């Protein structure tokens, strides 16, 4: 077994430890409603004669059950003619149709706070991606911590479609932000309608599901309420007490946010990132030169969550191992715009 082959094996077998999520549609169970003719025979005395009788009954029952199953199957699995391939029907409960709203000209710059149901990832400086609309040219710029992307859009009442070209989803060496950029592009491509209400812009797909949520104003120093996180958020910065220049600091928080703090010089403290929930430690991946450390919490059982407000994770090295300690920031985090 070569190292390369082992790499593929390790990569693929990660999936064995993952729980299998349920399908988008509650299936009534493949195999349920199987015609009686396929039921397992029960052997008993006089196997041969019973088998012959059972086979006859099964044939008749099978024909009858098949005739009955067709409408049952059509009702529960989607009305699909037998000659066409069976597709899993996708059933979604659409959100109420947005009422007519002012055009996108109501506010030209929107800070993205949620993409496909996930809180937006911020840069180390706390910068969120944003959408800037030029209603005259009917174009939109996707800006923020990554190189800008531009697209055209067509609006008709509350319907909107973005015309996207090819794009490179690269945000330098900040992989989390690069992946988010791709998710943003996909969200724009899926958008069919929008609603703008109370300073919140929501882009929805053709099923009415929200694919992107943005705010027209954002005060980093104030707790931010999003559709997925309550008010009273925690702001977490990173202090580099390792004595080494850190090329990359990536954190994942229990509330689901992934924050790319970027490079951090020795002795420096990063800007704070807003998250919904944090404890005295969190998952971290830290790179310095050829060295990579990963801090993997087992769980947070018995731990108290950090209170809303500003906190700092101090990173240090002890015996070559990465250590993390939550502390007070000392000076308040400056307001960021």
What residues make contact with another protein under the rule CB under 8 A?
A: 2-18, 20-21, 23-24, 27, 29-32, 34, 38-41, 43, 45-48, 51, 85-88, 116, 173, 182-183, 185-186, 189, 258, 287, 290-294, 296, 321-322
Toward another protein, which CB reaches closer, 34 or 219? 34
Q: How far is the CB of 56 from another protein (least distance, A)?
A: 15
Toward another protein, which CB reaches closer, 47 or 74? 47
Q: How far is the CB of 111 from another protein (least distance, A)?
A: 21
Toward another protein, which CB reaches closer, 6 or 307? 6
Q: How far is the CB of 127 from another protein (least distance, A)?
A: 21
42 token code pair:
């029960």
Q: What is the 3-state secondary structure (H, E, C) of the chain?
A: CCHHHHHHHHHHHHHHHCCCCCCCCCCCCCCCCCCHHHCCCCCCCCHHHHHHHHHHHHHHHHHHHHHHHHHHHHHHHCCCCCCCCCCCCCCCCCCCCCCCCCCHHHCCEEEEEEECCEECCCCCCCCCCEEEEECCCCEEEEECCCCCEEEEEEEECCEEEEECCCCCCCECECHHHHHHHHHHHHHHHHCCEEEEECCEEEEECCCCCEEEEEECCCCCCCCCCCCCCCCCCEEEEEEECCCCCEEEEEEECCCCCEEEEEEECCCCECCCEEECCCCCCCEEEEEECCEEEEECCCCCCCCCCCCCEEEEEEEEEECCEEEEEEECCCCCCCCCC
Toward another protein, which CB reaches closer, 46 or 332? 46
Toward another protein, which CB reaches closer, 13 or 331? 13
Contact criterion met (CB below 8 Å) for 284 and 208 = no
Q: How far is the CB of 222 from another protein (least distance, A)?
A: 28
Q: How far is the CB of 36 from another protein (least distance, A)?
A: 12
Q: How far is the CB of 319 from another protein (least distance, A)?
A: 11
Toward another protein, which CB reaches closer, 190 or 202? 190
Toward another protein, which CB reaches closer, 28 or 97? 28
Q: How far is the CB of 8 from another protein (least distance, A)?
A: 4
């Amino acid at each position: 077994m070569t190292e390369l082959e082992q790499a593929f094996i390790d990569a693929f077998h990660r999936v064995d430890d993952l729980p299998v999520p349920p399908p988008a549609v509650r299936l009534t169970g493949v195999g349920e409603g199987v015609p009686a003719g396929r039921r397992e025979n029960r052997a008993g005395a006089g196997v041969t004669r019973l088998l012959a009788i059972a086979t006859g009954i099964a044939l008749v029952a099978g024909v009858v059950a098949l005739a009955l199953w067709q409408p049952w199957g059509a009702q529960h699995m989607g009305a699909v003619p037998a000659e066409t391939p069976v597709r899993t029907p996708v059933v979604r409960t659409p959100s109420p149709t947005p009422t007519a709203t002012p055009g996108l000209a109501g506010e030209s710059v929107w800070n993205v706070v949620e993409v496909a149901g996930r809180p937006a990832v911020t840069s180390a400086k706390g910068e969120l991606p944003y959408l800037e609309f030029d209603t005259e040219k009917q174009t939109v710029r996707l800006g923020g911590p990554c190189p800008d992307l531009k697209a055209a859009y067509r609006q008709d009442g509350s319907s909107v479609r973005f015309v996207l070209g090819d794009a490179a989803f690269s945000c330098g060496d900040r992989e989390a932000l690069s992946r988010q950029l791709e998710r943003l592009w996909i969200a724009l491509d899926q958008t069919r309608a929008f609603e703008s209400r109370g300073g919140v812009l929501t882009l929805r797909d053709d099923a009415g599901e929200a694919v992107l949520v943005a705010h027209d104003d954002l005060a980093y120093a104030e707790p931010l309420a999003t559709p997925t996180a309550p008010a009273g958020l925690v702001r977490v910065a990173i202090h580099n007490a390792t004595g080494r220049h850190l090329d990359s600091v990536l954190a994942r928080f229990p509330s689901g946010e992934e924050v790319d703090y970027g490079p951090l010089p020795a002795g420096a403290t990063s800007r704070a990132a807003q998250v919904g929930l944090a404890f005295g430690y969190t998952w971290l991946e830290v790179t310095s030169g050829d060295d990579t450390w990963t801090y993997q919490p087992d769980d947070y059982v018995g731990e108290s969550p950090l209170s809303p407000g500003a906190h700092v994770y101090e990173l240090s090295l002890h015996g070559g191992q990465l250590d993390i300690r939550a502390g007070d920031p000392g000076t308040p985090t400056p307001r960021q715009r």
